[in-house]
Amino acid sequence: MTIESLQNEKVKHLVRLSSDNRFRKKSGTFVVEGRQENERALRFDFQPVEFFICEKIFDGKIPEGKINFVSEKVYEKIAYRGSSEGIIGIYNEKENLLEDFQPEENSAIIIVEGAEKPGNLGAILRSCEAFGIDALIVTDTKSDFYNPNVIRSSVGCLFGMNFFSAESSAVFEFLNKNNFNIFSTYMDETAEEIQRKNLTKKSAVIFGTEHSGISDFWKGKAENVLIPMAGTIDSLNLSNAVAITNYEILRQKITK
């Protein structure tokens, strides 16, 4: 049976999950759109609740689980990207606790204070996964890793990452307990070019907000580093700065 009505209760529920963050958080579920994104969610053992598939669009292998077939008209309504790829999944959220993370001797962690834009957070997740960063921590309990825009902009890289949200004090305690070298991107006279630092051992690099930079909490608790620049501009987009740092961490490890 194919769902053809836009007033179908399942369709209205899915639309609300996609558009109402409070409703989604209360439900403990989230929406994944796109073939690659759903494949990654399943690959990394996220538990699906059900799928919505438009057979006239979707050309992949139908996943196991509860399947709702929908018309093109309905899919256009429920899909953020219009008629793209023909599959949307609803999954249960996972509870990620920082205290459960067991870093290795050469682990690298990126810490971001208050990632405000879902697109930026998704881009940061994507570069963290691409360059082999072991974990991303956001020190802002308001940050929402399961926001549909985060999942889309990360191209599903979220699902293969260790990601946590925690207060700065808890993060600092975790880093000290596990003997991390802590670096901050606070610009002052003590800042040194990042490539001069040894990032091949346990390293954590902290980025502040684009609006106000590193918070006072982290000042004096880390070595300051900077990304060398040759132009007249004195700052980068947050996700770009993180990506460059991630590459430098990987470069040092593979050329060690």
pLDDT of residue 83: 58
pLDDT of residue 14: 96
- Residue 155 tokens, joined: 């191209």
- Residue 115 tokens, joined: 């990632």
pLDDT of residue 141: 64
Q: How far apart are CA 256 and CA 247, in angstroms?
A: 14
Predicted confidence (pLDDT) per residue in 95-106, tens digit: 899 999 999 999
The contacts of residue 219 (CB under 8 Å, 6+ apart) are: 184, 186
List, run by run, the mean pLDDT of 10-residue segments along the chain (256 residues).
Answer: 95 94 94 95 97 94 95 92 83 94 96 86 96 94 84 94 95 97 87 93 91 85 90 84 97 91
pLDDT of residue 153: 92
Residue corresponding to tokens 């405000």: 116
Q: How far apart are CA 21 and CA 149, in angstroms?
A: 11
Which is nearest to 110 in space by CA: 119, 100, 123?
123
pLDDT of residue 184: 92
CA atoms within a 13 Å half-sphere pointing along the CA-CB vector of 99: 3
Give all domains of the chain, ordered by start, each with its CATH number: 9-92 (3.30.1330.30), 98-255 (3.40.1280.10)
pLDDT of residue 121: 93
pLDDT of residue 158: 95
Strands 48-53 and 87-92, bridge-based pairing? antiparallel
pLDDT of residue 146: 94
Among the residues of the chain, which ranges form H helices?
9-19, 21-27, 35-43, 72-78, 118-130, 148-153, 168-177, 238-254
Q: How far apart are CA 119 and CA 25, in angstroms?
A: 19
Residue corresponding to tokens 């691409």: 130
pLDDT of residue 196: 94
